[in-house]
Amino acid sequence: MLTEACKILDTFDNPNPERDYTILFRIPEFTCLCPVTGQPDFATLFLEYVPDILCVELKSFKNYIVSYRDVGTFHEAVTNQILNDLVLVCAPRFMRIRAKFNVRGGIYTTVVAKYLAPGRTPVHSNSLGD
C-alpha cells in the first residue's frame, strides 16, 4: 500500500534496461523531527541504486524528501521507510541508502539499509561516498 509520502514519487522508463548501471543521489539537506523532543534532525542521505524497468524522477524525489520536514521519526525508521517507498515505486535490481545524521546528544548516527531483488547477485560497492 502506498503511503501519502510515497504517492509523491514519480518514475520514468529506464532508458537502458538491458544493462546494470548505478545511479547515485546525494541529498545534503534532509530534515525530520526528533519524535521525543520535537527538535529538528539534519542528515545527508546517500542513495545508490541499480534500476530495472523504472527510474526515480528527481523533482518528485526532492518533493518526497521535503515531505519529511515536519515528521517526527527515529533515524532508523525514516531510513527504512524511504527505502521501502522507493523499492515499492520503482522495483530496482538493487538499492542502498545511507543516512548520515548530524550530531545529537554528542552522538553521530549513520543508518544503512539495502534491498536486493530476488534472484540478483549482491552488489559490492563502496560508492556511497561521504
Q: Which amino acid is at 67?
A: S
Dist CA 117 CA 86 (whole Å): 13
Among 6, 10, 34, 52, which one carries the catalytic annotation? 34
Among 32, 41, 55, 85, which one carries the catalytic annotation? 41
Known catalytic residue: 41? yes
Helix (H) or strand (E) holding 64: helix 58-66
Q: Do 24 and 47 meet the contact criterion of CB atoms below 8 Å apart?
A: yes
C-alpha cell at 52: 530495472
Known catalytic residue: 55? no
Known catalytic residues are 34, 41
